[in-house]
Amino acid sequence: MMSAQGDPLKLDSMLCFAVYAAGHAFTRFYKPRLEALGLTYPQYLVFLVLWETDGLTVKALGDRLFLDSGTITPLVKRLESRGLLERRRGQDDERQVHIVLTDAGRALREQALAVPLAVGTALAGEREAVDTLREGLHRLRVQLDGGPGA
Amino acid sequence: MMSAQGDPLKLDSMLCFAVYAAGHAFTRFYKPRLEALGLTYPQYLVFLVLWETDGLTVKALGDRLFLDSGTITPLVKRLESRGLLERRRGQDDERQVHIVLTDAGRALREQALAVPLAVGTALAGEREAVDTLREGLHRLRVQLDGGPGA
DNA sequence: TATTTTTCAGTTGCGCACAATTGAATTGTA
DNA sequence: TACAATTCAATTGTGCGCAACTGAAAAATA
């Protein structure tokens, strides 16, 4: 009941802005922790994927993170120039480029463990709410992308 | 129970990525609707604020949207060059610049009403879940920003 | 009042994000 | 087998987002 809003354009009633603002808050929260690793947040996401599955192509990496080659390519080039990963042209399919971690890139994982720990501390005692939120956000994404059928 | 995760760095277990991905989904969803208005999403947010409270300073606008002058200044300059708003140096305080809508800027509001309508359609029958999500995201933002005391 | 500190908008530099395009490689089809 | 359509990574251009800095104005303090 009473979910009807007087002004349909009221900023604080908009789910999109709640998502946008929470994203900002995460960025602010992560910034000092990721600076210790020398990574930006999108770079951190790339490593999260590669630590799970090394050797993915630019395309597969982009699909996982909802990013395209226009974002991935320069990002991994910066990481390559720092010796954290390598870009290898596919042998079977020469259109593809595989992203492969170096020893330094793999070693970064140990330090990265501190990041989710810090999140856990900041959200201590909210584990259940966090799980609910994550599931709700997942359903939201699916709905906005056109439902399960799209 | 069972909220403990085997791998603390697992991408799909991370709330930050759920927020990040939902943000992407909103951006994709809004894009065609906002193109009809000739606005980007951050520009749309600026108008949402100004339609509620016209004449805010750059600082006040930024506080509302969690953005700083480095983002707001060029954004409103682009909107000013299109005749949608004006920037007026404060008379009482000459450091400030007030952002004031033009007739064209106010007129845009009518077309903008279609945007939340489209969201409502896409999320039809989820009103309760949407309210829950928005509140959860708000609490998350407050927690990440250091709690209610910070 | 004089001086220090703070606040504000603006600028620069770097990195993300995406649309549009290019060119090479692959796949599908005639 | 030819050739058309698709896929892939890369590039270009525009706009957001933030840190760091500048210079002017205002506020706080001595």
Q: How many CB atoms lie within 10 A of CB A34?
A: 17
Which pair of tokens denotes residue A108? 């970064």
Note every long-range contact of A66-69, with CB atoms under 8 Å and residues 24 or more positions apart, other chains counting: A66/B21, A66/B24, A66/B25, A67/A42
Lowest mean pLDDT across A78-82, A146-150, B60-64: A146-150
Task: Report the residue of chain A nearest B129, measured CA to CA.
Answer: A136
CB pair distance less than 8 Å for B26 and A20: yes
% of residues, chain B, pLDDT over 90: 91
pLDDT at B117 over 70: yes
**Predicted pLDDT of residue B109:** 98
Q: For residue range B3-45, what is the model confidence (pLDDT) as tens digits?
A: 456 899 999 999 999 999 999 999 999 999 999 999 999 999 9
What residue spans define the domains of chain B? 15-143
Task: Give the three-state DSSP class for B57.
Answer: strand
Which pair of tokens denotes residue A62? 């982009």
Task: Tell me the mean pLDDT in the region A30-58.
Answer: 97
Task: Tell me the mean pLDDT in the region B76-97.
Answer: 97
pLDDT at B47 over 90: yes
pLDDT at B150 over 60: no
Give how far the C-alpha of residue B86 lies from the chain's centroid of Cα atoms, to the nearest Å.
20
CA A37 / C1′ C16 distance in Å: 18
Its ipTM equals 0.93
CA distance to A66, A110, B22, per residue, from A62 (Å): 5, 24, 15
Asked: is B15-143 a CATH 1.10.10.10 domain? The reply is yes
Rounded to a whole number of angstroms, the distance from the CA of B20 to the nearest CA of chain A is 6
Tell the CATH topology of A30-109: Arc Repressor Mutant, subunit A (1.10.10)
pLDDT at A149 over 60: no
- The residues, ordered by sequence, that sit 6+ positions from B68 with a Cβ below 8 Å of its Cβ are B62
Q: Mean pLDDT for chain B?
A: 94
